[in-house]
Structure 1
Amino acid sequence: MPQKPISLGHGKGSIFKRCECADQTRCKHEWHIRYRIDSRPREEGSDKGWTRRQAESRLKEINKAKFAEAPVERTSSRSAPSFERFTSDYLQGRIDLGKNTQRNYRSILENHVYPELGRLPINRIARKPHVLGQFKHLIDKGFTYGRLKVTRDLLHMIFEEALLEKIIKENPVTRIPLPPEPFSEFYLPTAKEIHALAEAMPPHLRLGIYLGAGCGLRLGEILATNTSCLRAGNTYRINHQWTKHGEFGPLKHRLQGEYRDTPISDELVSRMKEHEEQYGLTPDGYYIRGMRREYLKLRVPQDSGHLRDVPISHAAWATTFSMARRIAQVPDEVNTKSLRHFFASTAVRNGIPLSDVADYMGHTDMQVTHKTYKHLLPESLTSMSRVVSKALFQ
C-alpha cells in the first residue's frame, strides 16, 4: 500500500511517492507533490524524477507564489472583496458600455480569468505571479493579439477602479508586455471580383456588397443601413449597427449616439434608390432584409412582402455570402471584411491621407490603419529613396 503523504504544514501541500515500498524515505523512487489552488487539488511531478529535497523546494516555490500579497493601503485581505465580486459590481456600474461590449467582457472573465483569479481577494493579486501568469496562460491557450489586448485593457480598467477606491496601492497590470502583433496578409479583391460576387448574391442583398466596398462598412453597419444615413454632400453617416445577437447597438469602439461619416458616391446613392423602389424598406427605414421563413425556398423575393421587417441576421448573411463566393468563383480568402480592404486600399493608392482613411474606416487607433495600408502609399519607398540619394550622392 502507498504510504501516507508527508505534509509541509496546514495549507502548504504535501510530498509523496506512488510506490508501495515499505520504507519510502530510503527507496529510490521519485517524489511527487500535492497542493491546492483556489480549493482545487493539484498534483505535480518531474519527468526526470524529483529527490525529496527537489520536491520540497518546488512546493515552497508554489507556496511563495500562492501567498504573495500585493501592497494594501487600507483594506485587509480578509475584508477586501474577491476579484470576481469586485469586477461584477464594477461592470454593473458601467452604464456607458454597450451590450455587446458587456457580453464580450463577461465572456473573457467567466471563461478565462475567473477560474484563476476569481476567488482571490483583489488586494492579494500581484503582478508576479498572478497577472503575468494569467497572460502566459492565455498565450498558451492561443489567444490572438487582439484578444490579449482587450483582456489587458479590461483588467487595467478594473484595477484602476480598485486603485481609485484605495483598495490597492498600485495597479498590477500597468506595463504588462504583450507579444509583438503579427502582420497578417490579406487578400485584396479586384473590382471585377466584387461585381461578380454582387451578381451571385440574391438581388435583394446585392446592395450590401456595394455598401461594404463603396463606403468601407463593417457587416453590422451594412445591415443597419437606413434612410437616415444619407446626408447632404455625398456623406454617409453611420451611427449604429445590427449585432450578431439580433439587436441594434452602438458602433464598434464607440458609445451610444456616437457616429462617423464616410463618403458615398452618386452611383451608390442611385443604387440605394433603385433598391428601395424594387424591394421596399422596413417600417423603420432599413434596406438589407432577409427572406421570411415561409419564402426561403424562393431565394429571390417576388415582392417586398416576402421580406422580413428587420435586417437579415449575421449568420444568414454569412451563409449566403459563402454560396455567392462559390458561384462567382472568387478565392476563398474573400470575405465581407475584404470589401472594407478594397475601400481603404483604393483610397490610399489614390493619395487620400491615412488620417482621413482612419476616420472613414472607424479606426480609433491610427496605428491600425498605418500598419495595414502604409505599403500601398503611391511610390512612397521610391520617392524616399530618390530624395535620400539626391541629398547624399549629388
Structure 2
Amino acid sequence: MARDSLVRGMGSFFKECDHPRSRWSKCPHSYKIRFRSAAGRQVEESGFATQDAAIDRLTDVYKTKKAAPRGQAKAERISTYGAMRFSEYAAEWKAGQRDLGPASVRHLDSLLEHHMLPLLGSRRMNTFDHKVVEGFIRSMERAGVGLATQANAFDKLKAILLDAYRLGLFEEHPLTGVKPPQYDPKRAVIPSPEQLRQIRTAGDDRFLLIADLMSGCGMRNGEAAAVNVRNIVADDVYRITEQVNQTTGHYARLKHRKAGEYRDVPLPARVRETIEWYADKHGTVDGYLLRHPQDASRPFPYYYLTNQWRRIKKSGEVDIPEGMVIYSYRHFFASNCLTHNIPITDVAEWMGHKNIDVTFKTYRHIMPGTISTAAAILNQHFTA
C-alpha cells in the first residue's frame, strides 16, 4: 500500500494499491486520508479523486484542530474515551500495539480474557482510580492467581491506564500509590552445577546443545533453537538475532525487539566448544545447527524439547530439583553471573529483559563486570 505523509500532525494520504507514488496521478484508484481527530481518535476517509483534494481535506481538518481551544480538544477526548467501557478501550489500545509478535499477542489475549475483562471489562474508563486497581489485585489474590500472572496482568493494566492518563482522562494516575504484585524470586528453581552436569547429558545431542546455550549464554528456549554458527561474532561473544516462535513455528524477531535488532551475550569457551562439536558432528543448514527432525528445511520444533524434557523427568535417572523446568537453565545463567559480581544491568541486557525491574524482581546482587570478563568468569565456573 503506497502512502505519503505531510507535516507532523496533519496526517497522511495514500492509495491502497501496488502502484508506486510516481504513478499515483495516472492510477485509477481513489485517494484515502488518515488523521487524528481533536479527541485523539484515528479517522480514515476515502473517495478523493485527486491528490490535491486529499491534501485540501487534511489541511482543513488541521486548521480546524489548530483553531480549536486546547481545553475543548481535551474535553472532547475525555467525553469520548471516558465513557468507553474498559473492554472497548483495551481493544482499541491492543490494535495500536503493532510491535507485538504472535506469541506476545497470544499472551496478552490470555491475560485479557481470563483475568482483566471478567473483572474490569464493563467498567467505564473515567471511573478508574487507585481503589479500583487495588480491588483488581485483591480479586486475583482471592482467586489464587499465581504471582507471576498477577504481575503480568498488572503490568498490562498499567500500560492501558497510562495510555488513558496521557489522553487526559485522569487528573491523577490511577496507579499512584498502588503496590504492585511481587513475583517471589524463591519460586525460580535453580539447579546446582552438579545437577546441571547430569541433566545436560541425560538427553540427545540436541538437548545438550540447548542446555548449554541456555545455561551458559542465558538464551530463551526459542533463541537456543535458532542457534547459528554465523552468529559467533568473537571468540567470547554470540549475537542473538532471532528465535523460533512458539506460536508460528517460524523464525521471528526477538522478544521486546524490533525486526533486525539483536543483543550480544557472553560466550563461554565451553559453550563455543559445544557449538563447534555439534556442527562438526551433525553439520549445519545455512549456518543453523538445529532443524526439524523430519524435515531439515524447517526450523527446530518447540515441542521436541518439551517432550524430551518430560521423558528425562519421568525416567528418574538423574537428580532434578523439585519444581525445575526447562527455563531453569536461564535461571542458572543469571545466578552464575550475579553470584560472581557481574552487574545486574548487564545481566538484564544479556537476558533480553524489557527493563531491569524484571531482573531485579527475580534475582539480586549488583557488581561490576564486562561482556569479555563475564565470558571468562562463566567459562571458569561453567559445568565441565
In 1, Cα distance between equivalents of 2:266 and 2:300: 24
Counterpart of 1:346 in structure 2 is 336
Equivalent positions of 1:261-276 (< 5 A) are 261-276=264-279
Cα deviation code 1:168-210 (max 9, x no counterpart): 5443233322344434154443444333323321234321121
- 1:182–1:191: structure 2 CA closer, same or farther, 3 Å change rule? closer
- 1:374–1:314: structure 2 CA closer, same or farther, 3 Å change rule? same
Cα deviation code 1:127-148 (max 9, x no counterpart): 2654333222122222233322
Counterpart of 2:161 in structure 1 is 159
In 1, Cα distance between equivalents of 2:187 and 2:348: 19
Contact 1:80 1:167 in 2 (8 A): no
Contact 1:116 1:134 in 2 (8 A): yes
Counterpart of 1:45 in structure 2 is none
What stretches of structure 1 of length at least 5 have no aligned partner? 1-71, 293-306, 378-394
Q: Look at both structures and tell me which one has the larger radius of gyration over its CA atoms.
A: 1
Equivalent position amino acid for 1:359 in 2 = E
Counterpart of 1:81 in structure 2 is 84
- 1:154–1:335: structure 2 CA closer, same or farther, 3 Å change rule? closer
In 1, Cα distance between equivalents of 2:320 and 2:303: 20
What stretches of structure 2 of length at least 5 have no aligned partner? 1-73, 368-384
Residue 158 of structure 1: how far off its partner (Å): 1.8
Equivalent positions of 1:174-193 (< 5 A) are 174-184=176-186, 186-193=188-195
Of 166-175 and 146-155, deviating more is: 166-175
Counterpart of 2:99 in structure 1 is 96
Cα deviation code 1:106-152 (max 9, x no counterpart): 221122222333233322x3326543332221222222333223222
Of 229-238 and 319-328, deviating more is: 319-328
Matched length: 291
In 2, Cα distance between equivalents of 1:183 and 1:349: 15
TM-score normalised by L of structure 1? 0.63
Is the counterpart of residue 357 in structure 1 residue 357 in structure 2? Answer: no
Equivalent positions of 1:29-44 (< 5 A) are none
Is the counterpart of residue 316 in structure 1 residue 304 in structure 2? Answer: yes
Cα deviation code 1:24-79 (max 9, x no counterpart): xxxxxxxxxxxxxxxxxxxxxxxxxxxxxxxxxxxxxxxxxxxxxxxx94444898
Counterpart of 1:114 in structure 2 is 117
- 1:138–1:330: structure 2 CA closer, same or farther, 3 Å change rule? same
TM-score normalised by L of structure 2? 0.65
Residue 320 of structure 1: how far off its partner (Å): 0.1
Equivalent position amino acid for 1:330 in 2 = D
- 1:289–1:84: structure 2 CA closer, same or farther, 3 Å change rule? same
Equivalent position amino acid for 2:334 in 1 = A
Counterpart of 1:258 in structure 2 is 261
SS at match of 2:186: coil
In 2, Cα distance between equivalents of 1:131 and 1:350: 39
In 2, Cα distance between equivalents of 1:109 and 1:229: 37
Residue 235 of structure 1: how far off its partner (Å): 0.6
- 1:201–1:290: structure 2 CA closer, same or farther, 3 Å change rule? farther
Equivalent position amino acid for 2:201 in 1 = E
Q: Alignment identity in percent? A: 29
Equivalent positions of 1:120-269 (< 5 A) are 120-123=123-126, 125-127=127-129, 130-184=132-186, 186-245=188-247, 246-269=249-272
Is the counterpart of residue 331 in structure 1 residue 320 in structure 2? Answer: yes
Cα deviation code 1:262-301 (max 9, x no counterpart): 111334323322322332334x532223422xxxxxxxxx
Of 250-259 and 101-110, deviating more is: 250-259
Contact 2:223 2:240 in 1 (8 A): yes
Equivalent position amino acid for 1:171 in 2 = H
- 1:79–1:341: structure 2 CA closer, same or farther, 3 Å change rule? closer
SS at match of 2:201: helix
Contact 2:90 2:160 in 1 (8 A): yes
Contact 2:291 2:298 in 1 (8 A): yes
In 2, Cα distance between equivalents of 1:201 and 1:120: 51
| Aligned-CA RMSD value | 3.2
Equivalent position amino acid for 2:277 in 1 = E
- 1:366–1:79: structure 2 CA closer, same or farther, 3 Å change rule? closer
- 1:358–1:192: structure 2 CA closer, same or farther, 3 Å change rule? same
In 1, Cα distance between equivalents of 2:81 and 2:358: 44
Residue 375 of structure 1: how far off its partner (Å): 6.7
